[in-house]
Structure 1
């Protein structure tokens, strides 16, 4: 616990770069982002902010996309991507080099990649446009490769420069203490895994042309996968995340030497996760008291696991919804209001 308190003094949670997504009103003053007032940016990120001012709103949008996806993926877990009200996006749990931190860094990096890639296609950024990806080899010869695709190459490149700048800045600062060096390498690895999840899932999308929908001709372009698929991929990597440690050559290696080194697409972590069962102001855990659970389920959302063995309270709840809808000629739908009573279970 003493080490965690020390980290709180050195790296306050509010200095996380993704905190720029907290206050949308700070992005622009007229047409200029207030780079000097955006919280949590490293010197390198401040420089990029000034150089690429039209990117800032999309970086923030990407972070919010990542947070939203994190909340969806962990909605039935004890840690549900929320922290105490400390002015940060993911909370103080990020100070622990755990699986949860690995996922948060990866999904935030992925969100920025996705948002910037789409902004290029929409013509909202001065330094990029439609995708220039080469024609896929497996595309049929008579299909045209064109259209305006998502510029995932640019999005991934910019996200690498901006998101990784913070960790590279720490390294250049000369702090070679093993815990700091290991955490920087962990963050860089997971940032890259997030970007790879976006680029690997991008695919060719096609549209038919021809008389009466005959589809005698197709035009194809590069398209990003829905971000839900990226979240699913990263959640799978979270479940399979590799425990690592700092090796002598200043690189990460498996904690257990019998395991193969993690690939670039894997998530890695250095420390075991807390149980997140009870509120803890130091670690930022909000606890599971008051969380809704599913009685009888053996999964992570079941009352036994979610409530950490403390038991749960049950009560009857009522909701009102539209029902017995009928279409009337012409042209409206008339519905009745029905009440539905159901059981809710909440952790003690």
Structure 2
């Protein structure tokens, strides 16, 4: 897909592999010293020391992944909220559920996105603009250039840094721990691939008075919301798997298609998010705001798990009757209205 637009470019296509979301304490840390970052594996600590200028980008990407997770699940019983700040997603990451699959995938995707953009912006010493090859279907008169987001580098760095946590461990073959490790690697690969799949060729016109006599194109990252939407679709269609005697993941139900490297997989059924259970990372839905007229997951019947809901009147203040004055400001009044707010019992 080719988009015409303005601005700087982004990077190209990449091969594939696998990854795991770094420990949450690391993801949210802004401390510069690798020794002070809790939760790093030995391999990650070494890479942190070698690539210290990459760490702020990793943190930004991880926070973007968490924010996107919370946006995608804002109307669900599990809304990607934290039980304890230090654990980010709470105990839910300890359960090999489809929620954990999404969390790992979107976290890895966020890091790829951030590192790829940091390369383009000249923030990292070991990479710069993308050098990906010219697409075969690009118009022959258009120039392939500009400063593209470096997806190749972002992918490879994320793969190395995130996957090392799983790869340096030696689990017993066919054990549950090995199965979870394989699940994490698979889902983080799906997250990395999502960033690449959603990227697009973007082009910009050059010329006197908008003549567009010259067109320059480059590979550019998609808005991260598009990556999140794509991964949410993969979450909805995630495949249940198990680890077999050969130490490989296989689908539990042979009637279903084998998942590709772009799909999400999970081992355990999701816990009951209706009730508060800190051991599994569930805050429950008591007190959550719901929509009385909705028949979806945000509706009071589903969100409140059949327990019913409370309704209270709330006064809302908002800008209204806005007028544009030449030149150049907008003048508004403040209006108040009373609305019903419904919360789960």
Tell me the TM-score normalized by structure 1: 0.91
User: Which stretches in structure 2 are left out of the alignment for 5+ residues?
Assistant: 1-20
How far 1:35 sits from its partner (Å)? Answer: 0.6
Indicate whether 1:74 and 2:73 are aligned.
Answer: yes
Instruction: Please say if 1:194 is aligned against 2:191.
Output: yes
Structure 2 counterpart of 1:170:
169
Q: What SS is found at the alignment partner of 1:75?
A: coil
Aligned mates of 2:290, 2:92 — CA distance in 1: 22
3-state SS of 1:87 partner: helix
Q: Which SS does the other structure have where 1:83 is aligned?
A: coil
Q: Specify the SS of the correspondent of 1:295.
A: coil
Aligned-pair CA distance for 1:16: 5.5
Does the CA contact (< 8 Å) of 2:317 and 2:337 recur in 1? yes
Which residue of the partner structure matches residue 42 of structure 1? Answer: 41
Q: Name segments (4+ residues, structure 1) moved above 6 Å.
A: none
Matches within 5 A, 1:7-46: 17-24=23-30, 26=31, 28=32, 34-46=33-45
User: C-alpha separation between the residues in 1 aligned to 2:119 and 2:194?
Assistant: 19
Supply the distance in 2 between the matched residues of 1:331 and 1:276 (Cα, whole angstroms): 50
In structure 1, what is the Cα distance between the partners aligned to 2:128 and 2:77?
Answer: 42
Instruction: Please state whether the residue corresponding to 1:282 is helix, strand or coil.
Output: helix
Structure 1 residue aligned with 2:334: 337
Alignment of 1:262-273 (within 5 A): 262-273=259-270
Q: Which residue of 2 aligns with 1:145?
A: 144
Given candidates 280, 289, 293, the residue that maps to 2:290 is: 293
Structure 1: state its 5+ residue gaps.
1-14, 29-33
Q: Select which of 281, 285, 292 maps to 2:278.
A: 281
- Tell me, in whole angstroms, the C-alpha distance in 1 between the residues paired with 2:29 and 2:160: 23
Aligned length: 325
In the other structure, the counterpart of 2:208 is 211
Query: Which structure has more RCO (C-alpha within 8 Å, separation ≥ 6)?
Result: 2
> Offset of 1:21 from its aligned partner?
2.9
Shift of 1:281: 2.0
Report what 1:319 is aligned to.
Answer: 316
- In structure 2, relative to structure 1, the CA distance for the partners of 1:197 and 1:330 (3 Å cut) is closer
Match of 1:114 in 2: 113
Q: Give yes or no for the alignment of 1:102 onto 2:108.
A: no
Task: Report SS of the residue matched to 2:129.
Answer: coil
Whole-angstrom distance in 2 between the partners of 1:335 and 1:263:
53
Deviation at 1:176, TM superposition (A): 3.8
Report deviation, 1:329: 4.2
Contact 1:16 1:88 in 2 (8 A): no
CA contact (8 A) 1:18 1:108 kept: no
Calculate the TM-score normalised by the size of structure 2: 0.91
Partner SS state of residue 127, structure 1: coil
- Kept in 2, the 8 Å contact 1:323–1:337? The answer is yes
Equivalent in the alignment of 1:4: none
Query: Counterpart in 2 of 1:259?
Result: 256
Indicate which of 221, 224, 228 corresponds to 1:224: 221
